[in-house]
Amino acid sequence: MTVAVDPVSVAERQIVAEHQLREKVINEEFKIWKKTVPLLYDTIHTHVLESPLLSVQFLPNYTVSENKNKISVQALFGSNTSGREQDHVKLVLLDLPSTLAPDFSTFAVGDSIPIPMNGDGLDSFKVLQSWKHPGEVNKIKVSPNGEKWITFDNQGLVHLYNRKDESPVDFSYHTSEGYALEWVSDMEFLSGANDSRIALWDIKDASKPLKEFNSHTAVINDISFSPAAKVLFGSVADDFNTYIHDLRSPEESPAIKISTNHIQNAISFHPLLSSLFATGGKDNVVNLYDARNTKEPFRKLFGHNDSVVGLTWDTCYDPNFLYSWGLDKRVINWDLSKLSEEVTYPSSEASESKRRTRVTEDPCLAFIHGGHTSRINELSVHPKIPNLFATVGDDNLLEVYKSKTLLEEEEDEEEEEKEEAEEEEKDDAEDKPEAKNEDVDMKE
């Protein structure tokens, strides 16, 4: 007797098996990462929260304890309860080793303690303030002076908060939820939503935008203002277009238009160079553009193996560093001081081949943070403390970390030692046949 097999049940079992295998691989990768933590990080603190977080932002400045054993930083994040509970914007205090302070060298000898890798006695996580938020917190952006912040909810409203007021000021214009927010100054900001519209606002007037930009035809994914140019901002959307607008122009149309084969999810202008900006998208690639010639990116950065969803520059320590994060659970630190070094872009044939004839790792790839088990939604770089980062993701984790920094002198010493060893091996190989020839000559 032949028993009929339900193709649907077979497909379901296959999907379940693939999901279980994927989860197993993720868990194994996370275990491997945990073992490498002492080698990769000066300090790292992980906090498990009640719901996934979509956005996190450091506040500028920090405080030093009286005994100078620790510093305290503040950060903002918003909940994403999917409507199950009341959502909030929370201001939290995090205690970290004082050795992270940029002025640590001025502390008296003996006043500080070594960095504990496990955070014992330092892993303080306190909620200082909490504000009710109407719906999920899609995005948070802190003003340049750190005194106020704006949020985007899942209904299209932008909310302006500060520490003194319990209730925010609401800015109503968009007809659907949004994820793109950017400060132009302490008094003006830009918002972009899924309704394909971008608005420029004055915080003193919530009734209507100062200016509207309707050049895109699909979901706005990200906006970036150029602090160097002071009048330019860029936007990327699901219409496969990257636009650069001039705020001085009376026209809504962009000054620069770039059409790509892949949707771009993120854009970020360099803090000091007005013509340099980066984009990242669904092709897993970070693109570097010169605004004076946008026909093609002048450099591509390969390192992600899934969509890039966010980009930001280092505005505190070294503007050569660009940071990207995405669906592959990675944050990648790119050191653009290595741009002059030779690089070979990976080809589709090379990626499919089991044999790799050449090293394809990008010399700009400086560090990979792999501490999450699901997509990373945002990274924040501390404005005052060098190399201090905060990340949040769909795995309910908030991670605050500082990766180890290999000094340039140490790198040079290692390179010199390697070259000396290679030279010695070469000399030894050359000396052996010469010795034989000398013996022959003597016999003659």
Q: Could you give the CA distance from residue 329 to residue 83 in angstroms, rounded to a whole number?
A: 25
Percent of the chain with pLDDT over 90: 66
Q: What's residue 417's pLDDT?
A: 62
Of 191, 171, 183, nearest to 145 (Cα)? 183
Q: What's residue 32's pLDDT?
A: 84
Q: What's residue 119's pLDDT?
A: 46
Q: Using an 8 Å Cβ cutoff, are 235 and 216 in contact?
A: yes
Percent of the chain with pLDDT over 70: 82
Helix/strand number for the chain, H first, E second = 3, 29
Arithmetic mean of pLDDT, 47-72? 92
Half-sphere exposure of 406 (CA within 13 A, CB side): 11
- The answer, yes or no, to whether residue 356 has pLDDT greater than 60, is no
Candidate from 259-268, 369-378, 434-443 with smallest mean pLDDT: 434-443
CA distances from residue 372 to 122, 127, 398 in whole angstroms, order as listed: 22, 23, 9
- The answer, yes or no, to whether residue 35 has pLDDT greater than 60, is yes
112-116, 120-124, 153-157: which has the highest mean pLDDT? 153-157
Candidate from 68-72, 91-95, 142-146, 306-310 with smallest mean pLDDT: 68-72
Candidate from 123-137, 197-211, 430-444 with smallest mean pLDDT: 430-444
Q: What's residue 145's pLDDT?
A: 95
Mean pLDDT of the chain: 86
pTM of the shown model: 0.84
Q: What's residue 3's pLDDT?
A: 56
Position with higher pLDDT, 406 vs 65: 65
Arithmetic mean of pLDDT, 17-37? 78
- The answer, yes or no, to whether residue 441 has pLDDT greater than 60, is no
- The answer, yes or no, to whether residue 11 has pLDDT greater than 80, is no
- The answer, yes or no, to whether residue 324 has pLDDT greater than 80, is yes
Q: Could you give the CA distance from residue 117 to residue 409 in angstroms, rounded to a whole number?
A: 25
Position with higher pLDDT, 248 vs 1: 248
CB neighbours of 255 closer than 8 A, spacing ≥ 6?
Answer: 232, 244, 245, 246, 249
Q: What are the DSSP calls for 83-103, one per residue?
A: TSS-EEEEEEEEEEEGGGSTT
Position 411 confidence tier, pLDDT thresholds 50, 70, 90: low
Q: What are the DSSP calls for 183-252, one per residue?
A: ESSSSEEEEEETTS-EEEEETTB-SS-SEEE----S-EEEEEE-TTTSSEEEEEETTSEEEEEETT-SSS
Position 29 confidence tier, pLDDT thresholds 50, 70, 90: confident
Q: Report all structural domains of the chain as residue ranges with CATH numbers, in order of start.
A: 46-107+121-132+383-406 (no CATH), 134-194 (no CATH), 215-345+360-370 (2.130.10.10)
Position with higher pLDDT, 18 vs 142: 142
Q: What's residue 271's pLDDT?
A: 97
Candidate from 122-126, 187-191, 384-388 with smallest mean pLDDT: 122-126
- The answer, yes or no, to whether residue 5 has pLDDT greater than 60, is no
Candidate from 24-28, 177-181, 270-274, 337-341 with smallest mean pLDDT: 24-28
What 3-state DSSP class applies to 162? Answer: strand
Q: Where are the alpha helices (DSSP H) in 102-172?
A: none
Q: What's residue 440's pLDDT?
A: 33
Q: How many residues does the chain have?
A: 444
- The answer, yes or no, to whether residue 91 has pLDDT greater than 70, is yes
- The answer, yes or no, to whether residue 196 has pLDDT greater than 80, is yes
Q: What's residue 408's pLDDT?
A: 54
Arithmetic mean of pLDDT, 161-178? 94
CB neighbours of 336 closer than 8 A, spacing ≥ 6?
Answer: 288, 320, 321, 322, 364
Position 419 confidence tier, pLDDT thresholds 50, 70, 90: low
